[in-house]
């Protein structure tokens, strides 16, 4: 009070020193219980900035940088770059979850390690109950799925018991082997089944292009076979499939155009059949004599 507007040179130097030390404008000018006594009032700081523009530019630049740093440090463990185990958040990331009305952040590396190698064991009564269920032949999924009525504990707890409880892992493996024998009985493979004795349900499947017993079909033949109409006669259909596949392999057509190419080839083959006659066709309407028997060497057929 009762001093000229602005700040004295000593106050201005002290103000700048505290800004360079990382303090915010609120901490320097507020004067409350958390920040301590104010160095100057906000009105005197603003007046000093009006009187000294160059000093004000430097002060405002430092004040904005300090304010951003303070905002970044707010919140739950704000400003931390590593978790309590030493994993950097910039590499492993943060997992956010809402639980019981509160928001929590977890290190993804710590969560992954807790699932792969959990260290905390469930209570002793849970361990004894799990051992009883395994001896009774109950699958692990039955008492680790929360939606099922027999839920006992999380699967992570079972993993911890397998790692740290002696004999528990052997019990789980024995339980799993029993379930495999029940679910997957031995299947007898038929090598060469006959059509009249092949049952309806079999482990063999017939392929469309690779033979009676299916193997690994070629993706190109399968794609072409799917787009060529099955209403075509068998000889024309197989000819169209072969022509399309060869053109794709030669780079003449693209895979996106195989349907249009198949229609074009089928139309052309139908047009060729109009002007050709099979030698096995009947020579007369009222007889079974083939046309080839009516041709002679004089016609130049075999010349």
The pLDDT, as a whole number, for residue 67 is 83
39: left (phi over 0), alpha (psi -120 to 50) or beta: alpha
Q: Bigger pLDDT: 107 or 302?
A: 107
| 8-30 pLDDT, tens digit each | 888 889 999 988 888 888 888 88
Sequence-distant (≥ 6) Cβ neighbours of residue 59 within 8 angstroms: 15, 16, 19, 49
- Which is nearest to 59 in space by CA: 25, 103, 33? 25
Measured CA to CA in angstroms, residue 197 lies from 77, 120, 202 at distances of 73, 59, 11
The pLDDT, as a whole number, for residue 191 is 44
Measured CA to CA in angstroms, residue 126 lies from 58, 117, 153, 158, 170 at distances of 65, 19, 8, 10, 18
Please give the backbone phi and psi of residue 102, each rounded to the nearest 5 degrees, phi first: -120, 150
Measured CA to CA in angstroms, residue 176 lies from 88, 128, 172, 179, 183 at distances of 39, 19, 6, 5, 10
The pLDDT, as a whole number, for residue 100 is 64
Q: What percent of the chain has pLDDT over 70?
A: 66
Alpha-carbon gap, residue 91 to 171, rounded angstroms? 39
CA dihedral 294, 297, 301, 303 (to 10 degrees): 170
Poorest-pLDDT segment among 15-24, 40-49, 86-95: 86-95
Residue with tokens 């024995």: 174
What is the pLDDT confidence band of residue 116, given thresholds at 50, 70 and 90?
confident
Please give the backbone phi and psi of residue 83, each rounded to the nearest 5 degrees, phi first: -80, 180
The pLDDT, as a whole number, for residue 4 is 76
The pLDDT, as a whole number, for residue 107 is 81
Average per-residue pLDDT for the chain: 76
Measured CA to CA in angstroms, residue 136 lies from 26, 129, 132, 139, 177 at distances of 68, 11, 6, 9, 14
Q: Bigger pLDDT: 71 or 144?
A: 144
Query: For residue 89, is pLDDT > 50?
Result: yes
Alpha-carbon gap, residue 262 to 244, rounded angstroms? 6
Sequence-distant (≥ 6) Cβ neighbours of residue 21 within 8 angstroms: none
**Are the CB atoms for 244 and 250 separated by under 8 Å?**
no
The pLDDT, as a whole number, for residue 267 is 85
What is the pLDDT confidence band of residue 278, given thresholds at 50, 70 and 90?
low
Quote the tokens at residue 31: 């004067």
- DSSP secondary structure code for residue 291 in this structure: G
- Which is nearest to 46 in space by CA: 4, 5, 3? 5
Q: What percent of the chain has pLDDT over 90?
A: 2
The pLDDT, as a whole number, for residue 29 is 87
Query: For residue 192, is pLDDT > 50?
Result: no
Please give the backbone phi and psi of residue 96, each rounded to the nearest 5 degrees, phi first: -105, 135
| 48-71 pLDDT, tens digit each | 898 888 998 999 999 888 888 777
Query: For residue 137, is pLDDT > 60?
Result: yes
Q: Mean pLDDT across the stretch 115-129?
A: 84
């Amino acid at each position: 009070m009762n001093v000229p507007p602005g700040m004295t040179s000593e106050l201005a130097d002290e103000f700048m020193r505290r800004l360079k030390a990382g303090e915010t404008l609120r901490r320097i000018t507020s004067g409350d219980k958390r920040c301590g006594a104010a160095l100057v009032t906000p009105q005197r700081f603003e007046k000093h900035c009006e009187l000294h523009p160059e000093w004000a530019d430097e002060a405002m630049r430092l004040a904005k940088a300090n304010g951003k740093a303070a905002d970044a440090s707010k919140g739950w463990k704000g400003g931390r770059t590593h978790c309590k185990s030493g994993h950097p958040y910039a590499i492993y990331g943060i997992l956010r979850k809402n639980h019981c009305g509160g928001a929590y952040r977890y290190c993804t590396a710590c969560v992954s390690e807790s699932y792969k190698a959990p260290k905390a064991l469930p209570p002793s009564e849970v361990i004894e109950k799990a051992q009883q269920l395994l001896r009774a032949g109950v699958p692990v999924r039955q008492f680790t799925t929360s939606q099922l009525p027999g839920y006992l504990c999380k699967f992570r707890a079972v993993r911890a018991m397998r790692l740290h409880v002696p004999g528990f892992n052997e019990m789980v493996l024995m339980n799993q082997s029993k379930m495999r024998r029940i679910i997957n009985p031995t299947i007898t493979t038929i090598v060469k089944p006959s059509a009249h004795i092949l049952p309806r349900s079999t482990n063999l499947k017939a392929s469309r292009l690779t033979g009676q017993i299916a193997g690994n079909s070629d993706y190109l033949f399968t794609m072409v076979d799917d787009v060529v109409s099955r209403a075509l006669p068998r000889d024309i259909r197989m000819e169209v499939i072969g022509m399309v596949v060869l053109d794709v392999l030669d780079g003449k057509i693209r895979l996106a155009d195989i349907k249009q190419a198949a229609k074009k080839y089928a139309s052309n083959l139908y047009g060729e059949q109009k002007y050709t006659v099979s030698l096995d066709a009947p020579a007369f309407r009222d007889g079974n004599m083939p046309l080839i028997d009516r041709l002679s060497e004089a016609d130049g057929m075999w010349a």
